[in-house]
Amino acid sequence: MTKEPGIYYMVLLVAGLLFVVFVLIFYTPSFLRRPLIPAERRGTVAVVVAERLTGFLFFGVIPWLLLKTSLPAFSVRDVGVDVPPRVWYLPSLLFWVLIVAGVSRVAGTPASLEQYPQMRRVTWTPAMVLLNAFTWALYLAGYEFLFRGLLIFPLLPVLGIAGTMALNLVLYALAHLHKGWREVGGSFFFGALLVLATIFSGSLLISFFSHVVLALSNGYFAARATRKMQDDAGR
């Protein structure tokens, strides 16, 4: 793919524009005169599901289609969609355990409950749990295809590890601005680990599953903390 840099840059430009459109649709600040989605509707099941499906389409499906139609020889393996070497299995598992343990310690804090669970005022039936997990997985598949695929592997021969990592982290941090400075700081550290794992393993699947573990853990522990607070208030 790096033999056709013009096509690659075109796809990145389109993906960037789609990202801006995505943010304007789902995260337009409430102080603007006419946000597309009113504040009271954010956090509803319909809006969250629509957000995740749109992200999957904008960040994953459309860039992939553009690359596949423009470069017939393009393979998703060119951007890291491949099984990592076995030597990465145990470190990845330990990392995911650490993620769950860390999230469980901060889940009940006000900062965490401001953001999670994304679906608010929901009765967590088995069907809702499956819907939440499935849509998270789709959204993060597109998200990782963009950030740990398109923004890493084609850039490595041009920018090197340091330059690729710096660009990725800056853009990744900017993508979290709507969640506040705490999330920006956390995303910078978390993103650094994911970029390094992706570069040295040659696979974005470690990053994808790490992100899924983080998202589902945040949602689960925050929902549990919220229900406990509601139960305590009702006594």
Q: What is the 3-state secondary structure (H, E, C) of the chain?
A: CCCCHHHHHHHHHHHHHHHHHHHHHHCCCCCCCCCCCCHHHCCCHHHHHHHHHHHHHHHHHHHHHHHHHHCCCCCHHHHCCCCCCHHHHHHHHHHHHHHHHHHHHHCCCHHHHHHCCCCCCCCCCHHHHHHHHHHHHHHHHHHHHHHHHHCCCCCHHHHHHHHHHHHHHHHHHHCCHHHCHHHHHHHHHHHHHHHHHHHHHCCCHHHHHHHHHHHHHHHHHHHHHHHHHHHHHCC
**DSSP per residue, 2-27:** TT-HHHHHHHHHHHHHHHHHHHHHH-
CA distances for 120 relative to 104, 114, 142, angstroms: 19, 11, 23
**Residue 177 confidence (pLDDT):** 77
**Residue 230 confidence (pLDDT):** 61
Mean pLDDT (10-residue bins), the chain, 235 residues: 71 92 79 65 89 96 94 89 96 97 85 81 87 96 96 92 94 80 82 95 97 94 77 54
The 3-state DSSP class for residue 187 equals: helix
**Residue 190 confidence (pLDDT):** 92
Q: Is the peptide bond before 110 cis (omega within 30 degrees of 0)?
A: no
